[in-house]
Amino acid sequence: MTPRQALGKGLGALIPEKTIADLDGKKAYQYCGIEEIHPNPHQPRKNFPEEQLQELVDSIREKGILQPLLVRRKGASYELIAGERRWRAAQRAGLKEVPIIVKDIPESELLELSLIENIQRENLNPLEEAEAYRALMEQFQLTQEEISKRVGKDRTTITNTIRLLKLPPEIRQSLSDGAITMGHARAFLSLENPEKQKIAFKKVLAQGLNVRQTENLVKKLGAKKKPSSPAKDNREWDPLADELQRILGTRVRIVGREKRGKIEIEYYSLEELDRIIEHIKK
């Protein structure tokens, strides 16, 4: 199996299911000094919550490291491919040696593997995940459909996650810190104006609004002046909009009156626009 083939299947293709022994009874891993390992500079995960890290430290002190770290040789030492959280916790736990599996991964594919591994393990917060998807698209020219197959997630989920990068910096930081949830963030995205997004965000923090309350707030902020002639209640369009959204795999909004209106179809990259156009043509 080539590294490229392995990447397509994720980390499981690189780490054997049984790491204690291979078919010949030999160990499928080895030990090395913890100081011989260095972190991966392309690691997509930036935040390591203290509480979760401490839980892992306690577990390692009691049971040791149950799964070896995945590394590659880098000069006279090793560079992490996967397992930075375990490596950090092992340091805190006072371990001198850690189990490792050494793989020959080219520099050009190291970032791709790190991104996919973290996404599959759900180790990233929503913003880190969005950045990982964008990196896979921009640096490896992967389409959202290809990413969907590699990480095992619905393509619409990937699209919606990437949209988070359009939010103002203070909202993205709050989401990254866990002060608001993905549900809050998605509600803010329904407001096209960044200033209105900020207004809604400040009210959510000040009043401690839940997701449902945030959605109601956003509807009020996004409401337009009542048209001179009776307009069709948008709620009546919702089933059709939902069906179009399911078919096209992106956000669809229908705004109109009885005899006239418009359909708004969102896209988040030129590749996404091409895909939607081809789908409509078919």
User: Mind listing the pLDDT tens digit for each residue in 201-228?
Assistant: 999 999 999 999 999 999 988 865 444 4
CA angle at 49 for the pair 48 and 55, rounded to the nearest 5°: 105
pLDDT at 253: 81
Tokens of 194: 């960044």
DSSP single-letter state for residue 139: H
Percent with pLDDT over 70 in the chain = 78
DSSP single-letter state for residue 76: T
CATH 1.10.10.2830 in the chain, residues?
A: 167-222
pLDDT at 50: 78
Give the contacts of 78 (CB within 8 A, at least 6 positions apart).
Answer: 32, 36, 37, 38, 71, 72, 100, 102
pLDDT at 5: 36
Three-class SS state of 196:
helix
Average pLDDT, stretch 178-204?
A: 92
pLDDT at 29: 83
Predicted confidence band at 257 (pLDDT cuts at 50, 70, 90)? low
Confirm whether 84 is a catalytic residue. yes
Three-class SS state of 234:
helix
Tell me how far apart the alpha carbons of residues 40 and 14 are, in angstroms, rounded to a whole number. Answer: 17
Does this model's pTM top 0.85? My answer is no
The catalytically annotated residue of 79, 84, 112, 117 is: 84
CATH code, residues 3-121: 3.90.1530.30
Helix runs in 141-233, H state only = 144-151, 155-163, 169-177, 182-189, 194-207, 211-222
Average pLDDT for the chain: 78
- The fold adopted by the segment(s) 167-222 is Arc Repressor Mutant, subunit A (1.10.10)
CATH 3.90.1530.30 in the chain, residues?
A: 3-121
Q: Which residues pair with 77 in a beta bridge?
A: 74
Tokens of 105: 């991964």
Q: Is the model more confident about 83 or about 12?
A: 83
